[in-house]
Structure 1
Amino acid sequence: MKEPTMINRRSFLTTTGLGAGALLVLPTRSRAETLTADAIFRDPDQPVLGNPDGDITIAEFFDYQCPFCKKDHPIVESFVKRDGKIRLVMKDWPIFGPPSLYASQLVLGASTFGGYRKGLEALMDTPGRLTDDEIDKLLTDAGVDLAKAKAAYNAEKTRWDGLLARTSGQATALGLRGTPAFVIGHVIYSGLMDDDALTKAVAKARA
């Protein structure tokens, strides 16, 4: 049986690509921790954007209230679309308070009936902080059935809460201290990534 690819945050992950609003990502504990690459890139409950059969996965730890995540999102999506061979997983890490968690719960719930992209795009296409009422309006205006999304989340609460807990645990194990943070190949990139940075990171991962 093939051994899983392991990620060791001490020796395996390199921090680079620091940009505006970025918080330096460095290991803070003396005890080395390991994660499998599949745990980060291929959680079975994680919705996937881009090319599901792509040769490289970009995993972005993000928050629906993070202004830098939102500023970077069109750049990331444009790059993924142009490349055509990238899986994109948006890993919900709601660290900006209760509205962030509420947003994640609704959009994940909406993923069960094809509303994930609509919900994600509607919330990312805003400048920053959100209230619960604003989240409701944005999702409704985008065509996401709010009542259906809430019911879908509640129906599979254990599944979605488990996904959120795993993502949070991964962020802690990797030493992440802020959003956005990307894992591409065997490297962590913290902060904003422009097209050139994404191009170099993906080329490095493919090499």
Structure 2
Amino acid sequence: MTRLALGLIAGLAAFPVLAEEPAAATMTEAERKAFRDEVRAYLLENPEVLIEAMDVLQQREELAGLDRDTQIIAANSARIFANPNDWVGGNPDGDITLVEFMDYRCGYCRKAYDEVEQLIATDGNIRFVVKEFPILGEASMLSAQFAIALKQLHGDEAYGKAHHALIALRGEPTVETLTRLATDLGFEPQPILDRMDAPEVMAVIQDNYALAEMMDITGTPAFIMGDGVMRGYAPLDIMRDFVADMRADG
């Protein structure tokens, strides 16, 4: 059924006279026509019923979505918050963990970067986890592969530097660009480039894809904290409210 039809049903349920019609199987064709005419006349005279019904439906869907997020997060907590393949920044011993699904070529991820950094720095008690989620084409994939390969070869500190550099990168992340970037960061480029297509690197990305699909995350950035999900960019004040709400619930 369409959302409009579901909303109409919800609206009629709030109108007892119409909701208590005889069972369809026992109604004659004339009775069914009379009932439909009565419903139509009522809705034309009271169109706000449809708006109210759609509002109720939207609220129910939102609540169902929140419940679904909570259940999936609870069932996959270690995979989301404590995956050893993920980079951890901020305060590793923070009282709350913020997970971000991000793509280096995403304009909103770049916009959020400074604000997330400010959030973490000013709060001081947030453990920050990055999940590489390249969804914007080959350039995104190359960037993610480079960052993961560097982490696997040289550790978290190296990844943190690459993460910042890739976010700030304005040119296309070609093999030549990444070669220069590795050199600028103080690393021999070829082992990193050779590692980028390794099964261990691709396994990290594929696991993040699968987790995002399970969580109904289709864009970047997306944030998970506590038992809640924030899909899309949000300004710093909203992020702070998100943190405060999760702490209050925790």
Q: Under TM normalisation by the shorter chain, which class is it?
A: 0.7 to 0.9
1:135-174 aligned at under 5 Å gives the runs 135-153=178-196, 157-174=198-215
* Structure ranking higher in strand proportion: 1
| 2:98 match: secondary structure | strand
* Aligned equivalent of 1:24: none
- Name which of structure 1's ranges 53-62 and 107-116 shifts more when overlaid on structure 2: 107-116
1:117 pairs with 2:173: no
Runs of 4 or more above 6 Å deviation: none
CA-to-aligned-CA distance 1:107-136 (integer Å, 9 cap, x gap): 111113142011110110145864444444
Match for residue 219 of structure 2 among 156, 174, 178: 178
Q: C-alpha separation between the residues in 2 aligned to 1:37 and 1:98?
A: 30
The equivalent residue for 1:4 is none
The answer (yes or no) to whether the contact 1:65–1:128 under 8 Å persists in 2 is no
Per-residue CA deviations over 1:140-182 (Å, capped at 9, x if unaligned) read 434444223224546xx33322221111111101111211111
Counterpart in the other structure of 2:125:
85
**Which amino acid is 1:189 matched to?**
M
Q: Which has the larger radius of gyration?
A: 2
After TM superposition, the score normalised by the length of structure 2 is 0.64
Secondary structure in 1 matching 2:69: coil
Q: Which runs of 5+ in 1 are unaligned?
A: 1-7, 15-31
Matched-pair contact (CA < 8 Å) for 1:13–1:187: yes
Identity %: 31
Distance change >3 Å, CA 129–CA 72, structure 1 → 2: farther
Instruction: Report the RMSD for the aligned CA atoms in angstroms.
Output: 2.5
**In the alignment, which residue of structure 2 is the partner of 1:11?**
67
Distance 1:9 1:167 in 2: 20
When normalised by structure 1's length, the TM-score is 0.77
Paired residues in the alignment total 181
Choose from 80, 83, 92 the match for 1:40: 80
Q: Structure 1 CA distance, aligned partners of 2:220 and 2:189?
A: 26
Q: Which has the higher contact order (CA 8 A, sep 6+)?
A: 1
Q: Which moved more, 1:69-78 or 1:130-139?
A: 130-139
Q: Could you tell me how far apart the structure 1 residues matched to 2:244 and 2:85 are?
A: 28
Distance 2:210 2:233 in 1: 22
Amino acid at match of 1:11: D
